[in-house]
Chains A and B, each alone.
Chain A
Amino acid sequence: AQKITQTQPGMFVQEKEAVTLDCTYDTSDPSYGLFWYKQPSSGEMIFLIYQGSYDQQNATEGRYSLNFQKARKSANLVISASQLGDSAMYFCAMIGRNRDDKIIFGKGTRLHILP
């Protein structure tokens, strides 16, 4: 069975500092995708970044980068130069080559950026 684990229920970070949000996963699928989504208080899930299991390089999107360590089954999100608007819930998610191709989400990490 597939599983996503986010061990940090909440984090407080000073504005402009970098922050790392942890995510580990478990799957028996040889091919899978890993995602990070941001959910502000409005509720909408905002796609941030995607990493394919066969991608050789870590994904980057602006201030977001994904530290993908396949052997350790970890996919940590790094946010550089944090901003007040980064305060939100962050979800790590995975999709595997199952019949239904559903996305499995972790329980999330609530990030608070302090001015």
Chain B
Amino acid sequence: DAGVTQSPTHLIKTRGQHVTLRCSPISGHKSVSWYQQVLGQGPQFIFQYYEKEERGRGNFPDRFSARQFPNYSSELNVNALLLGDSALYLCASSFEAGDQETQYFGPGTRLLVL
């Protein structure tokens, strides 16, 4: 069974550009969450989507946006990139959204902003 997949695996951008990261959840999972992990820290929650609707948003500026498609895959968009956006971006999926749901993570996208 395929796990959570993310693309691309690595990305290099310059300040001011925008980026789109993609995530495909485990088959049958309806919820997708996005996390940012900067070097030396634990992941920080960005968004959660469930059944194509935003269920939660972390403390990130409006430059960050996301959406979920009818097939439950998801995109994370970041506009006007800053050097501080350099991080590992992790996508996680769960069957539903709730406090008993285990989230399974993908391999991440490593973004470097120069």
A residues contacting B by CB (< 8 A) are: 4, 29, 31-33, 35, 37, 42-47, 50, 52, 91, 93, 95-108
Contact B45 A96 (CB under 8 A): no
- Looking at the complex, which one of A91, A101, A107 makes contact with B98 (CB distance below 8 Å)? A101
B64 at the binding interface (Cβ < 8 Å):
no
A-B residue pair count with CB separations less than 8 angstroms = 78
- Looking at the complex, which one of B55, B102, B105, B106 makes contact with A99 (CB distance below 8 Å)? B55
- Looking at the complex, which one of B56, B88, B99 makes contact with A32 (CB distance below 8 Å)? B99
15 A-B contact pairs sorted by A residue (CB < 8 Å): A33-B101, A43-B88, A44-B105, A47-B103, A93-B42, A95-B99, A99-B56, A100-B57, A101-B98, A102-B33, A105-B43, A105-B44, A107-B41, A107-B42, A108-B41
A95 to B94, alpha carbons, bound, how many Å? 13
Taking each of A42, A44, A103, A107, which has the highest tally of chain B beta carbons within 10 Å of its own beta carbon? A103
User: Nearest Cβ in chain B — how far from A88, in angstroms?
Assistant: 14
User: Nearest Cβ in chain B — how far from A53, in angstroms?
Assistant: 9
Contact A102 B45 (CB under 8 A): yes
Contact A47 B99 (CB under 8 A): no
User: Nearest Cβ in chain A — how far from B35, in angstroms?
Assistant: 8
Contacts of A42 in B (CB 8 A): 107
The closest CB in chain B to the CB of A96 belongs to: B99
